[in-house]
Each structure stands twice: as structure tokens, then as C-alpha cells.
Amino acid sequence: MNCDFLSYFIKPQQYSMPVNWHEIFQTKGKLAVEIGFGSGEFLVSLAKQQKDHNFVGFETSITSLVRIQKKIHSESLGNIRVVLADGRFGLREFFTDNSVDQVYTNFPCPWPKKSHKDKRFTNQGFAETLAAVLTLGGTFQLVTDVQWYAQQMKDVLLSTGSFELLQFNENSETVVGTRYERKWISEGRKTYTLLVSKVAHKTVERWSWEDDSMPHVHLNRADTDKLVTLAGVVFKHNKGVFVVKRVYKCDEGEYLLRMVSNEDGFQQRYFISVEREKEGWLVKLDPDALAYRTPVVKFSVRKIAEVIAS
């Protein structure tokens, strides 16, 4: 089976942060980003129109990731790469300050429930990320069918003092050009476009830039009886939480812990291994998990080691 079409997918976990996009694209074209590319119609169309730009698309759906790569391959587009990741995290961690020319997000889920508000783009953290990574004069465009969401996004962006409003209007015609949007317009549904330009710079803290080495702890002794009781235990950190979902005994002297971490709404699933060494034990982040080395992930390795060493 020919899988050449899958060559547009990159795993940022395999690179040092921030990602060197010029090296990946092998050109110095301006960078543009779409967060949540869905079917890929908009991103592919934009890449065909702006061949002097390099495009990075974020999605959390594997199905969408495969589908768009087939489109990219059929159009022979070398200026698109796609990433399976939360776009809010990726925009902040994978790009340097003043490096992105355009950012787009089209019809994101508004997460209307109060309990889900941390998942929305309409928060200070995302606005400050845009103020950091966009170039001066760079733009952010949101298209949505939810009026209150567009208004909320406008308010939070302008409150930073880093953006100038270029456009905020109700649409009676398609803006993005996808089949879903065309269907909504034909049904008489309204959409809303927000377009802002960066006029002042701010920077933000990055979680994975300081030390991307594989976290590990060496122990003289390990309490394996305590280790197997950790399933379901939640540990708190000042930047988030992690929970041990399950503990597996793989072999004599080897254990694997299935972990879930949550940092400001960014969730990761990964494994920590506990292995007997010639002299003692080694607690480490399992390399096959390809987790981002965020504060909570690194803390989880140290905390597990601390618990089973006591």
C-alpha cells in the first residue's frame, strides 16, 4: 500500500522546542496556522492561493488528519504540514515570538456549558499567546455561527491592548467556503467574522522550552507493594493535576503506569515506567509515549519516585 500521502504529518515531540519550521519546510516563507482544520477544505484552498506562505494545521481527530493529507497529496502542495495536537498548546509551544503571519480558527466548538469554559478559545491565555506569536501587523481571524462566542472573543482580545479591530460583522454569504458553511447559509443561518491585527507585542511563558530532556529518577529501593496501590490516585501541582489511571506489572522488576495529566485544560495521556536496574530502580517517562515535557508531566515522574521511595 502506498502511504506517501502520510508524509505531511509531523510529531513535534520528536523535535526540540520551539520547532524550527524553516527547517521542516526547507523554505523561509511566512507562517500561517489554522487551529481545527476539520475536513481540510479551507486550509488546502488557502495554501493553493498563498504559495509564498507555509501552513501548519492543528487537529485532534485522526480521521481528519488522514483525510486532509490525501487532499494535500492530490494537489501536490509542499507548503502544508499537519499536527495531531491541541492547537492552543501548539501555537504557544511550537512557535517563537513574532513568527506567525496569520492564525485562523473556523467554527470551533463554543463549549457552552460553564463547566467546559476552560476549553474555549475565548480566554486570556489564548489571547496572550496570539499577542506573542503573531508578527506586528499579523492577523487572527475567527469565523463562527455563535454570536456570543464572537463577541466574547473580540472583548478578550481587545482587553489585552495588543490588537486593533479590523472587522466584526454578520455574514449572509460564505466566508470559509466549506460545504458545511454553504449548507448553513442555504438554511438561512447566520455566521460571524472577527478579524484583528496585532499592534503591540507581549510574550508568554512556555512550558516545554526550558528542559526537554527525558525526566528520570534513580532509586536505591522501591516499594512495589505501594506502587500497585496507586491506581486512581490524583496528585496536584500548582500548574495542574495528574492521575494514575492504571498500574501494570509487565515482568518481574518492571511496571508500567498509565497516566493522564491536565494543565490549564491541556490533557495528555502517557506512561511512566518503573524498572529494576543493576543497582536499584529507575523511574522514567516511557519514551514510546511521546509526551510533551510540561511541568506536570515532569512533576509526575518525580512524584511517583518520591512516593515509592518512602
Same domain, 182 and 268: no
* DSSP for residue 296: H
Same domain, 69 and 182: yes
Return the pLDDT at 1. Answer: 43
The residue from 166, 198, 230 where one domain ends is 198
Least confident of 4-8, 143-147, 155-159, 233-237: 4-8
DSSP 80-92: EEEEES-HHHHHH
* DSSP for residue 291: -
Mean pLDDT of 111-127: 81
pLDDT at 45 over 90: yes
127: which 3 cell numbers?
Answer: 489571547
- Which of the two residues, 68 and 287, has the higher pLDDT score? 68
Alpha carbons 203 and 298: distance in angstroms, whole number: 23
Report the predicted TM-score, pTM, of the whole model to 2 decimal places: 0.88
Same domain, 12 and 117: yes
Contact status, residue 32 vs residue 53, Cβ threshold 8 Å: yes
Tell whether 90 is covered by a domain: yes
Tell whether 131 is covered by a domain: yes
The total number of structural domains that make up the chain: 2
Query: What is the rounded (10 degree) CA torsion for 89, 203, 94, 98?
Result: 130
Alpha carbons 103 and 81: distance in angstroms, whole number: 15
Q: Nearest-CA neighbor of 8 among 32, 25, 26? A: 25
Alpha carbons 108 and 175: distance in angstroms, whole number: 15
Tell whether 83 is covered by a domain: yes
Same domain, 38 and 149: yes
Same domain, 27 and 101: yes
Least confident of 26-30, 139-143, 170-174, 282-286: 170-174
Same domain, 223 and 192: no
Same domain, 95 and 19: yes
The residue from 145, 166, 198 where one domain ends is 198
Enumerate residues 6+ apart whose C-beta is below 8 A from 269.
258, 259, 260, 289
Tell whether 223 is covered by a domain: yes
Same domain, 105 and 246: no
Tell whether 210 is covered by a domain: no
Assign 3-class secondary structure to 103-162: EEEECCCCCCCHHHHHHCCCCHHHHHHHHHHEEEEEEEEEEECCHHHHHHHHHHHHHCCC
Alpha carbons 133 and 281: distance in angstroms, whole number: 42
Alpha carbons 277 and 222: distance in angstroms, whole number: 11
- Dump pLDDT digits (tens) for 232-263: 999 999 999 999 999 999 988 899 999 999 99
CATH number, domain containing residue 74: 3.40.50.150
174: which 3 cell numbers?
Answer: 460564505
Tell whether 206 is covered by a domain: no
Helix (H) / strand (E) containing 102: strand 100-106
Helix (H) / strand (E) containing 121: none
Tell whether 84 is covered by a domain: yes
Same domain, 10 and 121: yes
Instruction: Give the domain extent around 301.
Output: 216-309
Tell whether 55 is covered by a domain: yes
Same domain, 138 and 187: yes
- Which of the two residues, 161 and 183, has the higher pLDDT score? 161
Contact status, residue 291 vs residue 232, Cβ threshold 8 Å: no
Averaged pLDDT score across all residues of the chain: 91
Same domain, 163 and 241: no
SS3 161: coil
- What's the Cα-to-Cα distance from 134 to each of 37, 144, 237, rounded to whole Å? 19, 21, 30
Same domain, 227 and 184: no
The residue from 172, 198, 224 where one domain ends is 198
Give residue 116's pLDDT band: very low, low, confident or very high (50, 70, 90): low
